[in-house]
Chain A
Amino acid sequence: MPAPIRLRELIRTIRTARTQAEEREMIQKECAAIRSSFREEDNTYRCRNVAKLLYMHMLGYPAHFGQLECLKLIASQKFTDKRIGYLGAMLLLDERQDVHLLMTNCIKNDLNHSTQYVQGLALCTLGCMGSSEMCRDLAGEVEKLLKTSNSYLRKKAALCAVHVIRKVPELMEMFLPATKNLLSEKNHGVLHTSVVLLTEMCERSPDMLAHFRKLVPQLVRILKNLIMSGYSPEHDVSGISDPFLQVRILRLLRILGKNDDDSSEAMNDILAQVATNTETSKNVGNAILYETVLTIMDIKSESGLRVLAINILGRFLLNNDKNIRYVALTSLLKTVQTDHNAVQRHRSTIVDCLKDLDVSIKRRAMELSFALVNGNNIRGMMKELLYFLDSCDPEFKADCASGVFLAAEKYAPSKRWHIDTIMRVLTTAGSYVRDDSVPNLIQLITNSVEMHAYTVQRLYKALLDDISQQPLVQVASWCIGEYGDLLVSGQCEEEEPIQVTEDEVLDVLEGLLVSNLSTPVTRGYSLTAIMKLSTRFSSVNRIKKVVSIYGSSIDVELQQRAVEYNALFKKYDHMRSALLERMPIMEKTASNGPTEIVQTNGETDPSVVETKHPPPVTQSTNQATDLLDLLGGNDMVPVIQTSVPTKPASAGGELLDLLGDLSLSGGPAPTPAPSVPTSQPPFLLDGLSSQPLFNDIAAAGIPPMTAYNKNGLKIDFTFERANPNPNIAVITINASNSTEADMTDFVFQAAVPKTFQLQLLSPSSNVVPALNQGTVTQVIRVLNPQKQQLRMRIKLTYTHRASSIQDLAEVNNFPPQSWQ
């Protein structure tokens, strides 16, 4: 058989192939030749064949049949064979093949070979792909080599030890004695790898960490020598002495100094020295500075040093090199939580980075900008961010839109501004807005009562322009459904009211139903909106027609809705007005923005913000229906009943946490009931709805009163004045039962005149025990901005002695102090 061709020949041949198929053919031919050569057990040319096999493997062709040959090469005496054999082993073999275990013996012998290069090869292979079994077997040899004086071997042994520790963490202690004088080496290669080994050990075991803390002075000394020593041609890179080693030492110092005052103090000087003396004109200097900054931020450094670090990062931001800018933005993002004020100083530079051409930099700048938004800079920042939203790539738009919503929710200076911002986002990036933003927005709009007319008008105008962006269309149709009457009556105060007729509105909504651009979800929204308008508009017949058409729609969801609405028209017409009336204000849930962009408050416990379930709206409307029947008219605003038990106590602490940046003076501060036009954002309600909170507030000497006393059921009102806001009266009712039988299924409902707002919290129970053995308590919050006389109509339902009893009463005898 002729001698197998040389590697170079093979490469040359393959390069002449013009198509993939041709190349494949050549390779297959050569593979066949190699295979037969292997079968012949030819020792001279084996290394040549394996070399060719490795080349083909790199190109992507299967080479597993060469694995055993690699082993044979490793076992050979010739250095050339061993070299290629070990290389092949590293490239072709891995832990999953059983073959690799056969190598263990060879490696063991080679670790004790007389030639250092053979030892080096063995160490290298073990360090790259040694399995846990191999590592266990050979750890002793590695440890021996770690103590040798041969620096070439020592550095390789150190990295091999790192690999062993990674694979078999229990063996770490074994290497401990060998590390004793690693740092006294002169050879930089050994120093470097030793530092890596020490770093690995410290990261894995807190005991080791404590043990190695005593090395800090030695490390500081080495670092100092590196900086102070003159030009050393061996390790010089662009004028700086061995920057790789400097960076490694800095990283080890970081790990050692974290959470430890003594070590941190020992490092302060050297860190300051490095930070001020390093030359920043080349990338190397910046790499060292970057590492220094990270170390300063992580250890317990003094504040002057921290400010220095942040300033360095600020300087990086102005650097021409985009790599440096990117790295600076990343680090600032990490530090913005802890050193917020310092980072704020560089805000304008960061905002400028939004305009950078580089995608990676833009993303980092966007994340950082959102982290920096606060109550003071919200207007300016939002302008920049909205401009960014307009012009950025689609991949950013979703994240940016969510971030804008989050920031606007937290820091909106006024409702009008908030609505405007939302409109802007919906119209510019409407199709990229996340799906869960739609319900959040709807909730927001509901809560800002006085802006309803303005909102619906703007949304209507936006719809006229463009119906392709689904989230916008969905929110708009929901609003038109709810507030269509405001739209038609032209009541807007904020801007020039537009003249719209009912038919025009219905045209638009019907247009949505038939348009190809609308998704099924959107269609559902518009059908429901049309239905709601049946109680607000007068053209009921038109609506009836539309609804009945969709009763036979192919889309099951639409069909179901249409059929149910039809039924409403036919059989349940008396309930229609009640069911379709205005939605009550919903309890705010915790914001659901993308968590990676903005933390609601980085400084406090994460346990604070929990989602609360919004009350089932249908239940409220059912009770509202009852009340309407009860009240028989529209002059009373039905109560909003929260049916979910709210979180008890610690509400004060929660509040403070939730409010974070916003400085609210003093302790638990119950804010006005939702939708009062104050400057405080609506979410403040979250922490407030707890009974004990209100009960703690001292009653301002308002006398209690008996509101109702009949048939053995007595209801007492006690009053408290909510402190910062005198417009809220908090009434606690106590219901007691003096009869001999319990009153079960006890439900208390109340209604107040239109100028008031009422909120009823959950009762303590719904059984009033007999013979005054206990009471049912419930808290009512009444907002009385116009300070009118408080009147209330109450309705009581309960089961007593197996019969169900209902009663109505008016309460007019409120003491004047309760509403003045």
Chain B
Amino acid sequence: MIKAILIFNNHGKPRLSKFYEHFNEDIEQQIIRETFHLVSKRDENVCNFLEGGMLIGGSDYKLIYRHYATLYFVFCVDSSESELGILDLIQVNSQVFVETLDKCFENVCELDLIFHVDKVHHILAEMVMGGMVLETNMNEIITQVDLQNKMEKSEAGIAGAPARAVSAVKNMNLPEMPRNINIGDISIKVPNLPSFK
């Protein structure tokens, strides 16, 4: 079971934090800080597995992380999860984030993750539920998230009318622009993000 999913940047600022087990708010913040400390100390060429810090349950739990340019994706799991499997999931995970967000906004980057925390949560909810992996098929996830976003937009969404106009303008160009799903063609603002495959 996955205990927590954390995304933070190189300075430790949380970009997404989802806990599948209950902790108090201050404990949650401490966990984020502690995890950041543990993970940021790691060299680039060591393995991606760590024992969990004291707050999150000690050595019964493992931290599996991947570092992409400015972001750390950290999954805290217990012994029932396969370490290598989770590593793959992170890869898929970040891929999905990037792709889906890219569908909404061109040239997605960390800033977009920052500004659309709620959307990121919704995407995550389609992938992991209750600490267990729900769906790993990227296309399926993206489709579902898309449909739900459309539903929201039809109700005027959170931001209200202006955003709809903007997205309407964007969507107008859609047929002309070839939209390749292939991750290699998507240009990502952060230049030194390694290729996801």
Contacts and interface: CB of A to CB of B under 8 A. Distances in A.
Contact of A159 (B85, B121, B132): B132
A54 B151 contact: no
Contact of B122 (A87, A163, A324): A87
Contacts of A124: 125, 129
Contacts of A189: 134-137, 140
Contacts of A358: 43, 46-47
Interface in B83-120: 83-85, 87-89, 92, 114-115, 117-118
A513 to B, nearest CB: 40
What's the dominant secondary structure at chain B's contact region? mixed
Interface stretch (B15-23, B168-176, B185-193): B15-23
B87 A117 contact: no
Contact of A58 (B17, B20, B137): B17
A160 B114 contact: no
B157 interface: yes
Nearest to A151: B140
Interface in A317-364: 322-327, 357-361
A87 B118 contact: yes
A487 interface: no
Interface string B114-153: 1101100110010001111111110110001001100110
B130 A84 contact: no
* Interface range, A side: 35 or more
Contacts of B46: 322, 357-361
B10 interface: no
B85 A291 contact: yes
Interface stretch (A3-11, A541-549, A651-659): A3-11
Contacts of B28: 60
Nearest to A57: B25
Given A60-B25, A84-B158, A8 B87 contact: no
Given A162-B132, A196-B132, A188 B137 contact: yes
Contacts of A84: 118, 158
Contacts of A251: 82
A748 interface: no
Contacts of A15: 114
A234 B14 CA distance: 32
A234 B83 CA distance: 24
Interface residues of B, number: 56
B151 A62 contact: no
A contact patch SS: helix
A78 interface: yes
A631 to B, nearest CB: 58
A42 to B, nearest CB: 13
A6 to B, nearest CB: 5
Given A58-B14, A286-B84, A11 B155 contact: no
A685 B39 CA distance: 50
Contacts of A750: none
Interface stretch (A241-249, A408-416, A729-737): A241-249
Interface string A153-172: 00110011011000000000
Given A11-B115, A323-B47, A283 B159 contact: no
Nearest to A326: B47
B68 interface: no
A287 interface: yes
Contact of B158 (A48, A62, A117): A48
A94 interface: yes
Interface string B8-39: 00000010111010100110110000000000
Given A51-B118, A96-B22, A237-B88, A152 B158 contact: no
Contacts of A244: 85, 88-89, 133, 136
Contacts of B87: 283, 287, 323
A62 B28 CA distance: 12
A192 interface: yes
A47 interface: yes
Given A80-B157, A87-B121, A235-B137, A59 B82 contact: no
Interface string A716-752: 0000000000000000000000000000000000000
A129 interface: yes
A326 B14 CA distance: 28
Contacts of B88: 237, 243-244, 283-284, 287
A117 B129 contact: no
Given A57-B25, A60-B26, 18 more contacts: A48-B159, A58-B117, A59-B14, A87-B118, A91-B18, A123-B129, A127-B130, A192-B135, A196-B133, A247-B85, A251-B82, A287-B88, A322-B46, A322-B47, A323-B87, A326-B49, A357-B46, A361-B47
Interface of B: 14, 16-18, 20, 22, 25-26, 28-29, 43, 45-51, 82-85, 87-89, 92, 114-115, 117-118, 121-122, 125, 129-137, 139-140, 144, 147-148, 151-152, 155-160, 197
7 contacts: A60-B28, A79-B155, A123-B129, A128-B130, A283-B88, A357-B43, A357-B46
Interface of A: 6-8, 11-12, 15, 47-48, 51, 54-55, 57-60, 62-63, 78-80, 83-84, 87, 91, 94-96, 115, 117, 123-124, 127-129, 152, 155-156, 159-160, 162-163, 188-189, 192-193, 196, 234-235, 237-238, 242-245, 247, 251, 283-284, 286-287, 290-291, 322-327, 357-361
By Cβ-Cβ distance, the 10 closest A-B pairs, closest first, are A287-B84, A127-B130, A322-B47, A358-B46, A94-B22, A60-B29, A244-B136, A326-B47, A163-B130, A189-B135
